[in-house]
A and B are shown apart, each in its own frame.
Chain A
């Protein structure tokens, strides 16, 4: 599984970084999401799933497959 972040929609709430810093951080200029992990480890999938639901802009998606 991997996360796709839509940076056009992301407004830098940083809820993802608060909830799951293992996978998400934010950039130092606009404070938008940076997905740090290409393939989400199995033990983090539930946490990431919950984090995706907590994006106030709906900018994150959890999808099957690794990053290409």
Chain B
């Protein structure tokens, strides 16, 4: 790809900590974008290194450093973090606000995403899974990404936000541009477009509130009993839009590719269908191995961390896929063990910004696995297709996965 901006590394970066690494650049023929990250470890690059690509940023590879990047919000802020930089960038509520101020919107959202709240959604998620499978089961083949993985979380989002299913294509297009484009002009226009859609949505909910999440956000009150600032309401909608769609789509795609080529894994989920705890343990292992997100942080002040000088506003990437296979933490880290006993993966982050939608995401995926395997217990990659059009970036994945049964 063409580099848009590649300045020399800043003076404070030691030359032996510079690596030529572009996390958007997936080699032709590569069908697993996480490989570019794991190759770094294989090559033995420093566990904390700097790359001049994409505006210049650090990368943490060790589990312990990634965890510190999540937990130490005083040093590693979530405020204004995009890589490559977009300025000004919307301040996502509550993810883009440092503690303790993130609490306001986090508390507004959390009752809608607790395990209890998500358990109440389970029946609806099952119905959605079965409805989607209805559309292709009899054909004995599908493109899993187009026919299922993109549709499921986006349709869930529309329902949670009290929007009609007819808006699915519009939301899919907005999300794809947001996650895939590296053209600053396209990205800036895309953010403007997303905000226009959200502004209209929240205005409608403000006038005619329902029981959906958008209505809850717009009806939320601050400590003085006033509606939250309109910008914050939009920023909260923006967060839920960008956080809950693409992540689930690509995690599912990775998981289905694995299931298509592993009859024993399929059998494991089928045999544990009535064993909730065993199913959750197996799901957690799939979440560890199929971590598609690379999170961004911004250094808040000039400092020394692990003996290396950092400057205020340096950007950092926390690649979950690498942390989750750190063999200092995980036994047989590269192996998939559906009975793994201790599994403190960081797929949903840790610390004050732990993914608030994690329970919904996991439920969407487990419900989908169970609904699918009940109806299509045996399936394989169509004609050996291992997935096409792999992409890197903040969320990794591939845009097509042809399955047959």
Q: Which of A11, A15, A50 contacts B352 (CB 8 A)?
A: A11
User: Are A50 and B114 touching (Cβ within 8 A)?
Assistant: no
Q: Which of A13, A31, A50, A53 contacts B110 (CB 8 A)?
A: A31
B229 at the interface (CB under 8 A from A): no
Please report which residues of chain B, range 342-374, place their CB below 8 angstroms from some CB of chain A when the two chains form the complex. 342-346, 348, 350-352, 354, 358-359
A42 at the interface (CB under 8 A from B): no
User: Are A53 and B342 touching (Cβ within 8 A)?
Assistant: yes
A43 at the interface (CB under 8 A from B): no
Within the complex, what minimum Cβ distance (angstroms) separates B5 from chain A?
35
B115 at the interface (CB under 8 A from A): yes
Contacts A17-B115, A31-B110, A54-B342; A11 near B354 (Cβ below 8 A): yes
B113 at the interface (CB under 8 A from A): yes
Proximity string of chain B (111-126) to chain A, C-beta cutoff 8 Å, 1 when within and 0 when not: 1011111000000000
Q: Which of A18, A30, A53 contacts B277 (CB 8 A)?
A: A18
User: Are A13 and B358 touching (Cβ within 8 A)?
Assistant: yes
User: Are B114 and A30 touching (Cβ within 8 A)?
Assistant: yes
User: Are B342 and A31 touching (Cβ within 8 A)?
Assistant: no
B273 at the interface (CB under 8 A from A): no
The 9 closest A-B pairs by CB, nearest first: A31-B114, A11-B354, A18-B280, A56-B344, A14-B115, A28-B116, A53-B342, A30-B110, A56-B350
Compute how far the CA of A12 lies from the CA of B341 in the bound complex, rounded to whole angstroms. Answer: 20
Proximity string of chain A (16-40) to chain B, C-beta cutoff 8 Å, 1 when within and 0 when not: 0111010000111111000000000
Q: Is the interface of A mostly helix, strand, loop or mixed?
A: loop
What's the A-B contact tally at a CB cutoff of 8 Å?
59
B281 at the interface (CB under 8 A from A): yes
Contacts A50-B342, A53-B342; A29 near B277 (Cβ below 8 A): no
Compute how far the CA of A50 lies from the CA of B341 in the bound complex, rounded to whole angstroms. Answer: 7
Q: Which of B114, B341, B348 contacts A26 (CB 8 A)?
A: B114
Within the complex, what minimum Cβ distance (angstroms) separates A10 from chain B?
10
Residues of A in contact with B, size category: 20 to 34
Residues of B in contact with A, size category: 20 to 34
Please report which residues of chain A, range 52-68, place their CB below 8 angstroms from some CB of chain B when the two chains form the complex. 53-57
Some 13 contacts from A to B, beta carbons below 8 A apart, are: A12-B110, A13-B348, A13-B358, A18-B284, A19-B277, A26-B114, A26-B116, A28-B116, A31-B110, A31-B359, A50-B341, A54-B342, A56-B344
9 more contacts with CB within 8 A, not counting A11-B354, A17-B115, A57-B351, are: A12-B354, A13-B354, A18-B277, A19-B281, A28-B116, A29-B110, A30-B110, A31-B110, A55-B344
User: Are A31 and B113 touching (Cβ within 8 A)?
Assistant: yes
Q: Which of B111, B113, B343 contacts A54 (CB 8 A)?
A: B343
Contacts A19-B277, A56-B350; A28 near B114 (Cβ below 8 A): yes
Contacts A13-B354, A19-B281; A30 near B107 (Cβ below 8 A): yes
Compute how far the CA of A14 lies from the CA of B277 in the bound complex, rounded to whole angstroms. Answer: 13
Give the chain A neighbours of B351 by CB distance below 8 A: 11, 57
Compute how far the CA of A28 lies from the CA of B284 in the bound complex, rounded to whole angstroms. Answer: 22
Q: Which residue of A lies closest to B358 (CB)?
A: A13
Compute how far the CA of A34 lies from the CA of B351 in the bound complex, rounded to whole angstroms. Answer: 18
Give the chain A neighbours of B115 by CB distance below 8 A: 14, 17, 26, 31
Give the chain B neighbours of A31 by CB distance below 8 A: 110, 113-116, 359
User: Are B358 and A29 touching (Cβ within 8 A)?
Assistant: no
